[in-house]
Amino acid sequence: MSKKTLIPIGPYHPLQEEPELFKLYCDGEIVKDIKWETGYNHRGIEKLSESKTYEQVFFLVERICGICSTSHPFAFANAVEELADIEITNRAKYIRSIIGELERVHSHLLWVGLAGHFLGYNTLFMWAWKYREPVLDLFEMISGNRNSYAMFKIGGVRRDIEESKIPAIQKVLGDVKKKTDMLVGAVMDDPVIHARTKGVGILTKQDIIDYGAVGPTARASGVAIDVRKDDPYAAYPLVNWKVITAEAGDVFAKAQVRLLEMYESISIINQCLEGLKKEKEGEITVKVKEIPEGIGNGRAEAPRGEVFHFVQSDGSNSPARHKIRAPSYVNIATFRKSCIGQTIADATLSLAAVDPCYCCTERMAVAYDVHSGEKIMNASELICKSAKRTNEIKKKFRI
Amino acid sequence: MGRWGDWVTKRRRDNKKKMDKELNIEDFKKNFKSDILEIIEKNPRREIITIKSESILPVAKWLYKEAGFRFIIASALHTKRGFEIHYHFSLDSLGLILNIHVILDKVKPEIESLSNMFNASNWIEREMHELFGINFLNHPNQDKLISEGNWAEGVYPFRKEFKSDQEKR
């Protein structure tokens, strides 16, 4: 056996914003074997869930992931509503789908930016994240929060989208669509991106079936699975849209699928907004009496693929067992197929192409004084403060 | 979309011939009549079938290889009846989730591993072994997945008798 060099990626590494250790066993520059250690983020949420009431579990599962924070409550709501046989109102269905699709748009924009960053294409990173901001502002307008929207409950949603807000949402979506055109051009027409990502980290159809991979990872390899179409929930059967697939299975195909999916998402949201106008305002919940004994399987299509929740109820007010399967759980396992035989530089790109979950909730706050109505801190003051602090540090180290 | 439109392939769902070819749940019931203990049909898209634990391998093989089911995940439970596992299989062309339910021994829970057939079950079987202490026979690598190096051997946190340090106080 020849000697191999071990190159660790993680547990804390700039490539991954979440802790996970990948060990690449390399011969020269070629990755020969890959092993990983997980569990740095294990918080025992499945066990915790058993000690919470059904209403509280929504807030718990929302915090599994900072980016796709609506997909877990979505799947959990589907599971409990299937278990208790609850049919929600059309208005609630539309609102749920709007939130789900807005999340897909912002998550895919985030990924496109990060992918550009990994390639050294920082302009793309800046653009994509800049155009993601208005989408987060929309969330703030609808739910009051930019992340962790707390919109879901058993039997409906917590907040309504009033008719007066619809024009503002449509305007932002129009802008995002234009910017998506630009991003699609920036990725699809760039010869450097083609050269860098085509033929890298290929997953074949058989690999996808073998590992049970889901979401854009599967769709980029020509496996057209999408829970929204296959097992329709919320308002997805009420609107027209299509599943985007690609055949190549490489990093480029994954980028292509995600970019083109954004158009579909924007189209779904626009149709849902039209649908909202036809429904009576305020009818967003149905009354739920009790959760009977039994089991429920719920799933939802997160930006990264199928989220699956299994709930077993013993008739009490909290789940007796709650099993959660996030899409990255099956997608990360495909690294064994996509990375071995690649160079180290390509392997890191293949790792990023699956879009392992990230959490980013940092934001700037502008506070107003309640009595005087004056701004306590604005952007330029913050910049001044930051510059002042930098100067202090400079003085300290005599730079 | 314009010039990228031709990349958008038509869905498999539209292809009716293929859908007819994909075997239905009725065939399953016919094929494994002697292995099935109980069938609960919740609604047209959800079905729970309890089978004998020793017939999991032929059942999973038929579902995966013959009928085109996809393995989603498995959920282990610790109940009064002992250890139970729900294997969740999905038939995406019909939107069906099939829960294959097995009940294992209270004292020595063990069942044949599915990981030699498909890789999708590799991690979850390791996880169930780690958290519930269920032994998977012929598993390629039953090492710890989550708590490697910082958890005592033979202590299974998802069993009902497990008490955390906080609860013990």
Is residue A67 predicted with pLDDT exceeding 60?
yes
| More confidently predicted of B11 and A122 | A122
pLDDT at A43: 82
pLDDT range class, residue A74, cuts 50, 70, 90 = very high
Mean pLDDT in residue range A219-241 = 93
CA nearest to A36 within chain B: B145
Q: Calculate the CA dihedral of residues B64, B68, B70, B75 and round it to 10 degrees.
A: -50
d(CA A309, CA A300): 9
Contacts of range B158-161, beta carbons closer than 8 Å, 24 or more positions apart: B158/A46, B158/A47, B158/B76, B158/B78, B158/B131, B158/B132, B159/B78, B159/B132, B159/B133, B160/B78
For chain B, percent of residues with pLDDT exceeding 90: 50
pLDDT range class, residue B5, cuts 50, 70, 90 = very low
What's the pLDDT tens digit per position in A141-169? 999 998 889 999 999 999 999 999 999 99
What's the pLDDT tens digit per position in A260-273? 999 999 999 999 99
Name the token pair of B163: 């008490």
d(CA A258, CA A134): 19
d(CA B50, CA A363): 50
| More confidently predicted of B19 and A57 | A57
d(CA B19, CA A335): 31
Minimal Cα–Cα distance from A392 to chain B, Å? 43
What's the pLDDT tens digit per position in B34-90? 999 999 888 888 999 999 999 999 999 999 998 889 999 999 999 999 999 999 999
- Decide if B95 and A312 are in contact by the 8 Å CB cutoff: no
CA nearest to A181 within chain B: B1
pLDDT at A90: 94
Domains defined for chain B, CATH in brackets:
23-148 (3.30.460.80)
Strand partners, B135: B110
pLDDT at A378: 66
d(CA A70, CA A57): 13
Contacts of B96 in chain A (CB under 8 A): 231
pLDDT at A367: 52
Interface of B with A (CB under 8 A): 1, 4, 7-9, 11-13, 42-43, 45-46, 48, 70-73, 75, 77, 86, 88, 90, 92-93, 95-97, 99, 118-120, 122-124, 145-148, 157-158
Provide the ipTM.
0.85
Q: Mutation test of the interface with chain A: which of B119, B127, B156, B160, choosing the one with the most A Cβ atoms within 10 A?
A: B119
| More confidently predicted of A94 and A4 | A94
Provide the mean pLDDT of chain B.
83
Mean pLDDT in residue range A184-199 = 87
The torsion region of residue A85 among left (phi > 0), alpha (psi -120 to 50) and beta comes to left
Name the token pair of A171: 């305007």
Is residue B18 predicted with pLDDT exceeding 60?
no
Name the token pair of A399: 């730079």
What's the pLDDT tens digit per position in A166-178? 999 999 999 999 9
Number of cross-chain residue pairs from A and B with Cβ atoms under 8 Å apart:
109
Provide the mean pLDDT of chain A.
88
Is residue A357 predicted with pLDDT exceeding 70?
no
- Decide if B123 and A333 are in contact by the 8 Å CB cutoff: yes
Is residue A208 predicted with pLDDT exceeding 90?
yes
Residue A24 CB contacts under 8 Å (≥ 6 apart), including other chains = A6, A7, A8, A9, A31, A33, A34, A339, A344, A347
pLDDT at A22: 86
CA nearest to A35 within chain B: B145
d(CA A147, CA A159): 15
Minimal Cα–Cα distance from B13 to chain A, Å? 8
CA nearest to A230 within chain B: B95
Q: Is A241 on the interface with B (CB under 8 A)?
A: no
